[in-house]
Amino acid sequence: MIDTELARLLFEQQKVIVTIRKKIDLKVAGIDLSAYEKGSRVKVPLWLAKVLVDKGAVEISDENLINADSLMKALWREEHSPMPAELPEDFFAKLALSLRLSKEEGLSRIREKKQMELMIDDLMSSRLQKMLSAIRMGADLTEYLGNLTIEERILHDRLNRVLSEWRKMIALLLEGVMSNEHA
């Protein structure tokens, strides 16, 4: 599906902060890494960061990541807000990156990852429910659209379009039938 490919492309293109671990003589995709010394911090696309991490040339900074505590705080804010709480537009991309890059292993990490997966599911369900309710009621959504992530804005637009088309279809089917019954 085209949206899945777009999401994957957006994920790989997101900028992440890396710390240079050793001098890199590389110019790629308009980025000249040879200008940076060991210890320098620079933003690069994720796809490049992953290649450089594999070569031991850089380390991805923790500030790109979302841990279980941050996720729990986001879920709490969501559960205590009548409309979708504000999230950074790259929230889910950072969350995915966090889960993929976790270096820790063992039973405690497995438990934490499982706990995060449950919180993610709760967060997504709550936000989806709020979006559906607002769209269904025809509410003015401009005030909370800025709180949505990129992926949620795409979903919101699609849901709004589908519901609008469905309403028109039903109205056409019922045109004249409803008023004739009441006459």
DSSP string, 61-90: -GGG---HHHHHHHHHHHHT-SSPPP--TT
Q: Is 69 exposed, middle or buried (0-12, 13-18, 19+ CB in 10 A)?
A: exposed
- Domain of residue 7, CATH code: 3.40.5.50
Tell me 43's DSSP state.
E
Q: Let me know whether 141 and 153 are in one domain.
A: yes
Instruction: State which amino acid sits at residue 88.
Output: P
Q: Is residue 181 part of a domain?
A: no
Contact criterion met (CB below 8 Å) for 55 and 80: no
Q: How many angstroms separate the CA atoms of 168 and 28, rounded?
A: 51
Q: Let me know whether 151 and 83 are in one domain.
A: yes
- Of the three residues 64, 85, 103, the one that is the final residue of a domain is 64
Q: Let me know whether 35 and 99 are in one domain.
A: no
pTM of the model: 0.76
What mean pLDDT do residues 108-115 have? 83
Contact criterion met (CB below 8 Å) for 96 and 143: no
Q: Let me know whether 116 and 91 are in one domain.
A: yes
Q: Let me know whether 80 and 130 are in one domain.
A: yes
Q: Is residue 24 part of a domain?
A: yes
Chain position carrying tokens 């559960």: 79
Q: Let me know whether 37 and 108 are in one domain.
A: no
Q: Let me know whether 22 and 38 are in one domain.
A: yes
Per DSSP, the three-state class of 17 is strand
Q: Let me know whether 78 and 126 are in one domain.
A: yes
Residue 125 has pLDDT above 90, yes or no: yes
- Per-residue pLDDT reduced to its tens digit, 36-83: 889 999 999 888 888 888 888 988 888 878 989 999 999 999 999 999
Q: Let me know whether 86 and 51 are in one domain.
A: no
Structural domain of 17: 2-64
Tell me 59's DSSP state.
E
- CB atoms inside a 10 Å sphere around CB 116: 19
Q: Is residue 179 part of a domain?
A: no
Q: Let me know whether 131 and 51 are in one domain.
A: no
Q: Let me know whether 56 and 85 are in one domain.
A: no
- Of the three residues 64, 79, 108, the one that is the final residue of a domain is 64
The pLDDT, as a whole number, for residue 183 is 47
In the chain the first and final C-alpha atoms are separated, in Å, by 49
Chain position carrying tokens 């056409």: 172
Q: Let me know whether 152 and 169 are in one domain.
A: yes
Instruction: Name the band, by pLDDT with cuts 50, 70 and 90, for residue 15.
Output: confident
The pLDDT, as a whole number, for residue 53 is 86
Domain count, the chain: 2
- Most confident residue range from 1-5, 48-52, 103-107, 116-120: 116-120
- Of the three residues 10, 40, 64, the one that is the final residue of a domain is 64
